[in-house]
Structure 1
Amino acid sequence: MRSKIDANEYKDYILGLIFYKFLSDNEVNYLRSIGWSDDDLKTLVEDYEDKEAATMIEYCRNNIGYFIEYKYLFGTWLLPDSNFSVADLSGALNSFDRLIGHNYKHVYASIFKTLQAGLSKLGENPASQTRALKDLIKLIKDIPTDGSQDYDVLGYVYEYLISNFAANAGKKAGEFYTPHEVAMLMSEIVAEHHKDKQQIEIYDPTSGSGSLLITIGKSIGRHIADKNRVKYYAQELKENTYNLTRMNLVMRGIAPNNIETRCADSLDEDWPKQTSGSEMGKPLYVDAVVSNPPYSQHWDSTDGEHDARFKNYGVAPKSKADYAFLLHELHHLRPDGVLTIVLPHGVLFRGDVEKDNEGEGKIRKNLIEKNNIDAIIGLPANIFFGTGIPTLIMVLKQHRDNDDVLIIDASKGFVKEGKNNKLRACDIKRIADTVRDRASIPGFSRAVSRDEIRQNGYNLNIPRYVDSSEAAEHYDIYATMFGGIPESEIDGLHTYWDALPTLRGDLFQSETDRPYATVKANDVTRTIEQNMDVCSLKRDFADAFSDFADVLHHRLITNVSSVQELTEQDNIASDIFCRLQEIPLVDKYVAYQALSDNWQTIVNDIETIQTEGIDAIRVVEQAYKMVKKGDEEIEVPDGLKGRILPFELVQCIKFQAELDAIRAKQVCVEEIVSLLDELRDNLTEEEAEKYLDEDDNAKFNKKAITAGAKVKDDDVEPETKAKLKEIVRFWNEQSKLNKEIKADKAALEELTIDAIENLSDEDVEMFLHKKWIDPVCEGINGTLSAVFTTLEKTVVALEAKYAVSYNEINRNIADAQNELSGLIDQLTGDEFAIKGLQEFNKLKD
């Protein structure tokens, strides 16, 4: 597509085709589920004179909402004898629009409008357009669309496309896509609030790709077994993005009667409305509202003071619609509902409450006085694509039993990925748990009373209430002058001494006449390891997790066919937290991250096993890699791999001797390379000129060396000939070893393939344990080791901080000056030079 269309339009073609593939696959899978064969599929034609064909059209329209002829199925276009052209896709999209079932119009009508309208941009003529489409179809043929994935497929592809191409097109991608981690955090808050409900309605008035709604719905699904008890309302201004919302919801397997969408301006045209009964036309109230509206957008606030959404709170400024979106959403919230919205930090402090009768200050005051704001969560900067501004999540409710506001500064918890910052699983869980428990944690969160907010003039700026800044480095003046470590700074490590009472005495020696100490341990690491309280803590930790591996094995491997991802992860996390309850110093969220780091691998494997059966573990298949070919990257075969079990894992367990033998030969090759480098460096200048490559003197001239080593006359000096023969001998040995290594690797691969394909049931369980359970347990065990490593580094740094005092430096300077003076006094020489040195010597005084 490059050079044919703008980069920001790539997504419209790719996502549209992926969705068309989904619809085709969905129809085929549905018909196969009722007994249709591949030959039967060929009878799918739009022929109303054929009674059976006409009946089938109506059957599909009534049951899946649409009908696609065999010739228009995505899979048909991939057949070897297919003569696919751009006309086929155009015809397919027109046909799809005509054949939508009556009850499904609201979901599918004009859903391919953007794709259809843009086909002509793909080339100057039908032939070039067809070539572009064929390449796209081949590219996306393996993208999964069956809804079994734990992730949002369209959202995932969409995120990739906008992160790689939207910036090039000068678009603000952050307006359209909410990063998965932020969506997960919002979904955790909503799911916790509604965990006891068995039916729920959720609404996003700026739905974008629909990723927020989908993530919320998925999290709620942990508590509601029937996903058709969740109803989705979505409104989006931009038509192509609105179509994407509908595609995304449909691809997640949501029933059409649970999807209500609208393409319109949420602020200009209030929606959703009741569609039936005596309340018809009145505002619809939902259980949860979630949104990431465009930040500080201009809007038409005319007559806003008369609008039911705004009149009790105030009207947002025309230049900043942030509070307009918030009040619109709050208006549609049920009394027991919850609202989570992403906003810029400006909403916390913009507008003067005392001076402005309208605007953001008044709105903020009214939200506080009406007790709507439940929590404010400050997020890390650079967390959204396309914008580096810091953002926050505000949590609001119509009715609350408490009247404080929980303020969380979560801006410091993230991992950097490229140019963006990303919330980790442990960060998300820490925040969600803090919201749930309304916990006040120094430097992280605080429940702030309404009186305190009033005293601050309704300014909600996070640093006013939570100080997450790191303490400035403190230097003790006395210790700087005279040495010693201040006891006050050692006291600062009280969390360690509270948990390990004897360790402080093992590490530090207090001075009797002043509040200072020295490090008495010669080996800090060894002293920590051997301390009785440390050893006791290690035993307690080991006891707490003594059966954890077995519990995980039973949950994930023994019961692999019935594992449910979200509920199982919650159960395991609760188990980890419970085991750590009596273990000091270990951060339970760091331990949780060890589970999360490995969870996706586990879930992917479980998904494959649940889909294909346990024998999927015994499958060896073709591996692929991407290689550059001209200006394009293409996929090419790259050996074989286990569908679930990596060759490396199997080899380490079953064929370690073979691996060791190969490694030994590789070491020999490395030694030969080193010896050849040494021989090259020892060549004389004359030899180098003759036997090294003219263009690169780091390389041997193989032809010249081989010839020189063979000549029988005296043209080559004996010493030189010996060197050449040695080089040739090393080359021959290196070649022989490389051939053996290649053969050994091929033989090992055959052994590995045979081992995987013939695994016993006991082996299957053992290897799954090695791949899934061991990394989690190792990660959790590493959390305690990390605690002691951090303490060791802190103690060493504390000792180094005051290792050399100012007095000691002065003494060293004085000693050096005296020594220099003595040396100068011993010098003899020219009269005037001596006088000059004597004057220089006086300078030290």
Structure 2
Amino acid sequence: MAIKKSELYSSLWASCDKLRGSMEPSQYKDYVLILLFVKYVSDKYANDPYALIVIPEGGSFKDMQALKGQKDIGEKIDMAISALAKQNDLENVIDVISFQDEEKLGKGKEMVDKLTDLITIFENPALDFSKNRAEGDDILGDAYEYLMRHFASESGKSKGEFYTPTEVSRVMSKVIGIDKEAQRKLTIYDPTCGSGSLLLKVAEEAGEYGVTIYGQEKTVVTAALARMNMILHNNSEANIQKGQSTISNPLHTENDGSLKTFDYVVANPPFSSKNWMDGFNPYDDFYLRFEEGHIPPEKNGDYAFLLHIIKSLRSTGKGACILPHGVLFRGNVEATIRKSLIERGYIKGIIGLPANLFYGTGIPACIIVVDMESANYSFGLSQAEKGIFMVDASKGFIKDGNKNRLREQDIHKIVDVFNKQIEIPKFSRWVSLAEIADPKNDYNLNIPRYIDSQEIEDIQDIEAHLIGGIPNVDIDDLSDYWTAYPTLKNDLFSASNRKGYSDLNIAKTAIKETIFSHPEFVRFSQEMDTLFDGWKTNNTIFLKGLNVGIKPKKIIHRVSEDILRTYTDKPLMDKYDVYQHLMNFWNETMQDDCYLIAVDGWKAEPYRIIVTNPKTGKETDKGWECDLVPKYLVINRYFLADKQAIELLEAKREATVTAISEIEEEHSGEDGFFTEMDKVNKATITTALKTVNNKLKNKKEDSILLEKKQVFEKYLALTDEYTELNKKIREEEIALDLKALNQYKNLSIETIQQLVVADKWMASIENSVKSEMERISQRLTLRIKQLAERYETPMPKQLIEVAELEAKVNAHLEKMGFAWD
């Protein structure tokens, strides 16, 4: 069976539990990632004479499995990894840590148990990469990225800098325009490459022609992670240099010693580095990166990295660099450098990002986009003709644990707006050099100077509070709705006797009904349904045509771009919100399904769910399931009547439970029939009923005993009914489960396609998109109700109501004997 991404991720993260406690996440990530690498190459390349990686005798994961429980397991794992490293020129890459480090792994039995458990985790069938053929490298590479994201998150501020959030990497890779030049071999470079994730995202954008990757990373272990990351993503030829700071000793140079230049440069350098001058004198820089008077501050190296990037670009090169917002507005020498870069036209654009995105810091950052070709082209243009495109994307994100994260819709919107230079109020605009150079701005690039992204304040109208009426300005703010529903506004409001104000024509309790039943609302809803149906029809045909060997990432790209096109320029519905609904479903469910289809085709094979008790080792059968076609789909299509019969029995059981609870509550109070019982259940009530019956033999007409008898008998009848219902439900569930299981034998490929594409995928996406329409409609209803309630009681009316209430209170006080003048 194909590997599911969700299973792969959970299995890998479980391996981390074996190492928690004995070391920090920044340390145990190295053990997990190296074992992951060994497992992957062992599964993929063992016994393959043409393999990219040669698996030597004694250097495979299988050899490590044989070490479980042995006293010298740590030493022999090191030997196996060393053999693999020597055979493949991976020395100082996969052998940079020791599996016999007692400080990190413990001593004696503790180390043996920990490493044995770790190897056992990697024996999980979900990690059998030999069976995975469809985009296996992407699956593994994405899993590698998943682990690094979590390691970075757990490592905290001081140790999380090795990883650039993948969402930011995707934005950078797309705004530099590498996909437009994918018809030729390109070079890309990252002077502070960390684990290499940013480089790989840019390489992915280059398409089938590929790129030559260059990177430099100061930390040896992190450089090793980058090297493994490259291999796992089929970029084994990537040139990753390690062990030196790029600023003091750049290791990618030409034969004459000058800096090597590249088509594209991307970087996420350490923010505001305080030791960037260590090891060299910038005033005597051999590479001529720093002009006289343009040397960044000694304790802040942000511009040092940006100047290095510019110097490393070819005359037509493009680059993107993540830097803290301070580079946009700080003064002194940084202001001088900034002015020079602006005037030369190097800065094509600035994208302001949300705060708390990065693992090394919580401060907000920005992406500086550099375009050497555009700078050369703009030479000689006037200040009015030259400029910088700015995007304020600081408001679009989702909370993810203790960090913020860009959503799919945020990424797509940023990229679309930047690449197409679309100006959107409060989000983006092109700013001329003349405006930037104006003395009031003085080359300050702080984004709020040019884009006011603040939300419009909901202003309280004093006159409306005093006299009444709803301000027209508030009604007009809902203009998007009045465009979609042209006559609804006049049906809801009528002009007041005062200019600038209107009155609500209906009771506020009737607002929702009036809107939702309005012909224009109904028509618009039908149009939106038709719009979705068109997308659904086209893509249902396409998705049913998927087969073995598909590329899931290409599938979602086509389908998601089509939904964006479908909802472009449609009133009320934000295409990026609709897109996010689709992408949420993709990430949660559809992605796994497509990877299954890519490997196995349209197969629906049920499997048993076996759970092993970690303490006893005992296995328990928890039933069965099918990943591609879950049992609920088969039941809903073929055995809906059986399901509904069970639901009816469950409703009866729920009513019985309620009736039992009511009896218990009624008779458990003071002087109740259940008061003296320690527990109220069938056994205690049965015993109590026997006692009552015995007493009634002598007191046949005792009304209290007769009532108690009736209550006890009713309680027991209900418990018997509950037991019988439980038994009946269980029997029906077992029968239905067996029917569903047997039905899988009769499912044709066409039926499976219908179940998956129509009943599973399209039904879920449609429900989600329709919820967006519901949310939009509710927003209109709630806003009108809010305005109506805000101004429904003007000051004169309030004074009258207060006077009436005061009179009532005084009258009551007078009756009670309290009166005064």
* Unmatched runs of 5 consecutive residues or more in structure 2: 1-18, 130-135, 379-385, 698-704
Q: Distance in 2 between matches of 1:471 and 1:510?
A: 25
TM-aligned CA distance change 1:196 to 1:207, over 3 Å: closer
Superposed counterparts of 1:383-398, under 5 Å = 383-385=357-359, 387-398=361-372
Whole-angstrom distance in 2 between the partners of 1:644 and 1:508: 52
Helix, strand or coil for the counterpart of 2:458? coil
Within a 5 Å distance, the mapping from 1:362-381 to structure 2 comes to 362-381=336-355
Indicate yes or no: 2:716 matched with 1:706: no
CA contact (8 A) 1:620 1:757 kept: no
Corresponding residue for 2:111?
A: 129
Which of 595, 611, 616 pairs up with 2:582? 595
1:6-17 mapped onto 2 (5 Å cutoff): 6-17=24-35
| CA deviation profile, 1:165-202 (whole Å, cap 9, x unmatched) | x24xxx52441222222222222223566355432222
User: Residue 248 of structure 1 aligns with which residue?
Assistant: 229
Q: 1:329-371: per-residue Cα shift (whole Å, max 9, x none)?
A: 222122332212222111111123xxxxxx3212211111111
Residue 64 (str. 1) matches residue 52 (str. 2): yes
Q: Check the 8 A contact 2:468/2:792 in 1, yes or no.
A: yes
Contact kept, 8 Å, 1:414 with 1:423, in 2: the verdict is: yes
Structure 2 match to 1:768: 756
Q: What is the distance in 2 between the residues matched to 1:375 and 1:828?
A: 77
Q: 1:689 to 1:129 in 2, by over 3 A?
A: same
SS at match of 2:265: strand
Q: Partner residue of 1:652?
A: 636
How many Å apart are 1:65 and its aligned residue? Answer: 4.3
Letter in 1 for 2:261: Y
Contact 1:691 1:701 in 2 (8 A): no
| Superposed counterparts of 1:379-528, under 5 Å | 379-385=353-359, 387-400=361-374, 401=377, 403-455=386-438, 456-522=441-507, 523-528=510-515
Distance in 1 (alpha carbons) for counterparts of 2:591 and 2:216: 33
Letter of the 1:153 partner, please give it: A
Query: Size of the alignment, in residue pairs?
Result: 765
Distance 1:117 1:669, change over 3 A: closer
- C-alpha separation in 1, matches of 2:330 and 2:620: 56
Q: Is the 8 A contact 1:122 1:132 kept in 2?
A: no
> How far apart, CA to CA, are the structure 1 residues paired with 2:298 and 2:327?
14
Q: Give the CA RMSD over aligned residues.
A: 3.0
SS of the aligned residue for 1:207 comes to coil
Q: Is the 8 A contact 1:329 1:339 kept in 2?
A: yes
Q: Distance in 2 between matches of 1:823 and 1:131?
A: 81
Instruction: Indicate conservation of the 8 Å contact 1:213/1:232, yes or no.
Output: yes
Amino acid in the other structure paired with 2:259: P
Deviation at 1:156, TM superposition (A): 0.7
Q: Compared with structure 1, are the counterparts of its residues 295 and 765 closer, same or farther at alpha carbon in structure 2 (3 Å cutoff)?
A: same
Structure 2 vs 1, CA of residues 200 and 555 (structure 1 numbering), >3 Å: closer, same or farther? farther
Confirm or deny: 8 A CA contact 2:247 2:304 kept in the other structure.
yes
Residue 232 of structure 1: aligned partner: 213
Q: 1:720 to 1:288 in 2, by over 3 A?
A: same
CA distance in structure 1 between the aligned counterparts of 2:524 and 2:675, rounded to whole angstroms: 67
Q: How does 1:823-842 map to 2 (within 5 A)?
A: 837-839=819-821
1:553 is matched with 540
Query: Is 1:305 paired with 2:291?
Result: no
One of 772, 788, 809 as aligned partner of 2:777: 788
User: Distance in 2 between the 1:823 and 1:606 partners?
Assistant: 74
Distance change in 2, residues 1:264/1:117 (3 Å): farther
- Report Cα offsets for 1:391-441 as digits up to 9, x if no partner: 222211223156211111111111223322221111111111110111221
Q: How far off is 1:269 after superposition?
A: 0.9
Q: Secondary structure at the match of 2:695?
A: coil
Amino acid at match of 2:34: G
Question: How far is 1:286 from its partner?
Answer: 1.6
1:18 aligns with 2:18: no
Question: How far did 1:680 drift?
Answer: 1.8
Corresponding residue for 2:625?
641
Looking at structure 2, the residues matched to 802 and 528 of structure 1 have their Cα atoms a distance apart, in angstroms, of 20
Tell me the residue number matched to 1:342.
322
Q: Cα gap change, 1:609/1:261 in structure 2, threshold over 3 Å: closer, same or farther?
A: farther
Counterpart CA distance in 1 for 2:264 and 2:629 is: 42
Pairwise CA distance, 1:665: 1.9
Other structure's SS at 1:257 match: coil
Partner of 1:42: none
Per-residue deviation, residues 579-598 of structure 1 (Å, max 9, x unmatched): 33452222111121122122
Task: Report the 3-state secondary structure (helix = DSSP H, G, I; strand = E; otherwise coil) of the residue aligned with 1:385.
Answer: coil
Q: TM-score, normalized by length of structure 2?
A: 0.86
User: 2:226 is matched by which residue type in structure 1?
Assistant: T
1:102-117 equivalences under 5 Å are 105=89, 108-116=90-98
User: Once the 2 structures are TM-superposed, how far is the Cα of residue 489 of structure 1 from its aligned partner?
Assistant: 2.0
1:536/1:19 Cα in 2 relative to 1: closer, same or farther (>3 Å)? same
Number of the residue aligned with 2:646: 662
SS of structure 1 residue aligned to 2:127: coil
Matched residues in 2 for 1:265 and 1:742: separation? 67
Distance 1:320 1:635 in 2: 59
Matches within 5 A, 1:183-194: 183-191=169-177, 194=180
Mean CA deviation greater in 750-759 or 419-428: 750-759
Q: CA deviation at 1:556?
A: 1.9
Contact kept, 8 Å, 2:668 with 2:675, in 1: the verdict is no
From 731, 741, 746, give the equivalent of 1:758.
746
Whether 1:271 and 2:256 are equivalent positions in the alignment is no
Please state how far the C-alpha of 1:637 moved relative to its aligned partner: 6.0
Label 1:684 to 1:594 Cα distance change in 2 as closer, same or farther (>3 A).
Answer: closer
**8 Å Cα contact 2:67-2:76 kept in structure 1:** no
- Deviating more after overlay: 175-184 vs 443-452: 175-184
Instruction: Map Cα deviations across residues 800-824 of structure 1 (whole Å, 9 max, x no partner).
Output: 2211112211222233345556677
Q: Which residue of 2 aligns with 1:94?
A: 82
Secondary structure of the corresponding residue to residue 267 of structure 1: coil
| Structure with greater contact order relative to length (CA < 8 Å, sep ≥ 6) | 2
Alignment check: 8 A CA contact 2:60 2:84 kept: no
Q: Give the alignment partner of residue 300 of structure 2, picking from 295, 301, 320.
A: 320
Report the secondary structure of 1:406's partner residue. Answer: strand
Name the structure 2 match of 1:46: none
Gaps of 5+ in 1: 32-58, 353-358, 694-699, 840-845
Greater displacement, 774-783 / 664-673: 774-783
Residues 193, 338 of structure 1: 8 Å contact kept = no
Deviation track 1:656-688 (CA, whole Å, cap 9, x = no partner) reads 222212222222222222222222221464654
Measure the CA separation in 1 of the matches of 2:240 and 2:664.
76
